[in-house]
Homo-oligomer: A and B are copies of this chain.
C-alpha cells in the first residue's frame, strides 16, 4: 500500500518534471476546499503545483507537485489560485519574502478564491497591479459539496479581460462564473448574498418554530410558505426543520453544510464594510449576534440551520 503510494508519487513527480514547461496552475491553500478544487483541476487535465503550510494537506492532492513556498508554487504557471482562511494570510502569502509576487510570471493570472474583507481585496488588487500582475477576487459559494462536485459558483471582481481569461479554468472547478464588477466586487457580492441568507434562515426558522408551537403540521406549513410570498432558497432547498427534506444538514443533526461560526465570520466582514460606507444593517447585525450566541450554546460547529434547534431552547 505504502509502496504503491510512494511509486505513484515518484511517477507523478517524474511526469510533472517532464512536462514542466507545460505546467499551468499553482494552487496555494489546499485545505477542505482547496484540496477538492485542485483535485478537480488535475482531473480535468491541468498540471498543478500546490503549496500549503501543512505537508499532509499537500499530499492529499493526488497528482499535484508539492512546493516549498508560495514563490515556488507560483513560478512558471499560467494561473495562481489562492484558497486561504483570511485576508491577512492572503496578504502574507502574496507579499512575503518567498511569496507569490516573487515567483509569479507577468503572463500569469492571480485568482484569490478565499473569502476575505473586500477592503483587503481592493488593497491586493492594487498591490498586484503595481507589480504588473492581473488579479481577480473570486470567492466561491457551494461549500465542500460543491467543491467536490465541481459545481461551485465563483463571484468575481476585477477587470473584464481578466475575467474572460479566467473563465475556462474556473469552470473546471465550478458550474457558474459571475462577473460582479470591479476590484472587490466578488467579495462584496458574496457578503451581500450571505447576509440575505443569514437573515432569511433565522426568519424561516422563527416562523417554522412559531407555527409548530401553535400546533401546525410543519410539513404543511412548509408547503404553504413555498407556494406563497415567503418562499426562498432556505425554505425550498435548505429547510432547517428536521424531517422536511433529505440531504440537507437538518436531516443529519445539523452536521455538514456551512458552520454557524463561519456564517458569523462572514457577517463580521459584512459589518466591517457596512461601517466603512455608512450603511445600516439592523437585521444583518442582529443575525450576527444570534449566530454568535448560538456558538455559546454549542452550535458553532453545526450548520447555521441549527438556529431552528437553538430557538427550541433547553429545559
Contacts and interface: CB of A to CB of B under 8 A. Distances in A.
Interface string A261-287: 000100010110111011111111111
A280 B292 contact: yes
Contact of A311 (B203, B296, B314): B296
Contacts of A290: 282-283
Nearest to A280: B293
Contacts of A155: 224, 228
A45 interface: no
Interface stretch (A46-54, A187-195, A244-252): A187-195
Nearest to A238: B229
Interface residues of A, number: 85
Contacts of A184: 214
A208 interface: yes
A188 B211 contact: yes
A181 interface: yes
Interface stretch (A36-44, A107-115, A215-223): A215-223
Contacts of A202: 199, 282-283
